[in-house]
Structure 1
Amino acid sequence: MPGPGAGEFVRAEPGAVNTDPNEYKYELQCHLGGGDFDTPCLGRQLECKDGPDGEDGIPVMWLSRPRGVPGGVWAHHSGPTCLYDAAPEDLLPRIAADIQREFQNLPINAGTVTAQPSPHTLRGAETNFYAEAVEQQFDITMFGQAVHVVATPVQYTWNYGDGTVFGPQPSMGGPLPQDRWGEKTRTSHAYGQTGDFQVVLTTSFQGTYSVNAGPPLPIPGQGQFSAPPQTVSVWRSLTRNYADDCNANPQGQGCPGAAASR
């Protein structure tokens, strides 16, 4: 399991369906096809000066069409935006080939984990755990291009520290009012032994990226990031009857001054 702040990437399963219903391409702004350009358009086309690497770029329009639809027609999607690269026709494949590595190296916050009750709970009782994780956005530079990445939490895995792992699954759980502590929830866990246990939440994020304000493109697979471990102390509950008078014998069994045991 990755340590806090580190990420690993789970690639999409073979045959997995791309969740984006469209496919995309770009064309030069004002381009009419062949070697022809729209002259009036050229007079007002987007200026692409001083890109992320200080180089000038080219203005483009993004087109999209339904993926896998025979005879699908390309239509305007977004733009104009700029591409800053000497070989723009190879730019998107180069970024697509490297985006997974960039994604797993982002400082994505896996979120926080809360236990109810905490930091002490009872052996055999249901301890409710829930996570809080949010969508995060990052701006990075790849091959001289401005790339905007959005990471969205989609699945959660709970390692309860006693050898029990639950997930990955889509529920982050939720808090219970104090009068309901001890109820079984989807993400709760009952410990069979006493002791201190390190609970680790691993959050799986789905990502999208856009190049120079172009259309959002899906990042196949999921990045997994782990939150810092939280210590939960599991105690045992005992019920006993005592005959000692604590005023006469403060060290008597059951008295506040007597040593307690787990």
Structure 2
Amino acid sequence: MRVSDLQDFPAHPAPTSMEPGGWAIVGLAANFWAGPSAQLGEGLLLGQPAQVMFTPIGYHWNYGDGTTTTTTAGGASWDNLSLAEFTTTPTSHTYVEKGTFTVVLTVDYHADYSFGDQGWRPVEGTVTVPSTPITVVTARESTVLVAEDCNANPRGPGC
């Protein structure tokens, strides 16, 4: 069985997320991750009831600034990793310029199929599925010294 035989069993794009949501600070890590990994599809294969399991084997991140990375795991939020905000992760990226960037994730899946009592068997080939792009706006951060805090002066800079 080859990947081309699975036309009735499409692998769906992995949901993607980032933090902070939709923006990043130049020089600090922005964290990206993909949602649930394996997918199970049911239907007819060669006229018989069957199941196909798509298991991710590679995550290819294009961060939109000429930088790419490939990982074997989809990543996770800082909270799920028990990390502080802006901590570097295997799927994070640090932008060096301000601007607007389009981040694209492409996931490679290995497929296995099952007919009735035959158990799981591998499918020859790889299924590659792009996810919905994420737009990231980056900006520079700066510190401003002020005479009063926001409680004392609610209309002050940054309040």
User: Per the shorter chain, which TM-score range?
Assistant: 0.7 to 0.9
Superposition misfits of 4+ residues, deviation over 4 angstroms = 240-243
Q: Is the 8 A contact 1:154 1:170 kept in 2?
A: yes
- Of the three residues 72, 93, 96, the one matched with 1:170 is 72
Distance 1:112 1:130, change over 3 A: same
Q: % of aligned pairs identical?
A: 30
SS at match of 2:123: strand
Q: CA deviation at 1:127?
A: 0.9
Question: Which protein, 1 or 2, shows the higher relative CO under an 8 Å CA cutoff with sep ≥ 6?
Answer: 2
Verify: 1:196 aligned to 2:105, yes or no.
no
Distance 1:171 1:148, change over 3 A: closer
Larger Cα Rg: Structure 1 or Structure 2?
Answer: 1
Distance 1:160 1:105, change over 3 A: farther
- Of the three residues 81, 104, 129, the one matched with 1:225 is 129
1:220 maps to a residue whose letter is E
2:111 maps to a residue whose letter is G
Give the alignment's TM-score, normalised by structure 2: 0.79
Q: Is the 8 A contact 1:208 1:219 kept in 2?
A: yes
Instruction: Give the structure 1 partner of residue 63 of structure 2.
Output: 160
Distance 1:131 1:242, change over 3 A: same
SS at match of 1:151: strand
- Of the three residues 41, 48, 58, the one matched with 1:145 is 48
Instruction: Give the structure 2 partner of residue 205 of structure 1.
Output: 109
SS at match of 2:4: helix
Instruction: Give the structure 1 partner of residue 3 of structure 2.
Output: 100
Q: CA deviation at 1:172?
A: 1.4
2:15 maps to a residue whose letter is T
Instruction: Give the structure 2 partner of residue 215 of structure 1.
Output: 119
SS at match of 2:5: helix
Instruction: Give the structure 1 partner of residue 152 of structure 2.
Output: none
Distance 1:238 1:104, change over 3 A: farther
Q: Is the 8 A contact 1:110 1:133 kept in 2?
A: no
Distance 1:145 1:179, change over 3 A: closer
Q: CA deviation at 1:241?
A: 5.8
Give the alignment's TM-score, normalised by structure 1: 0.50
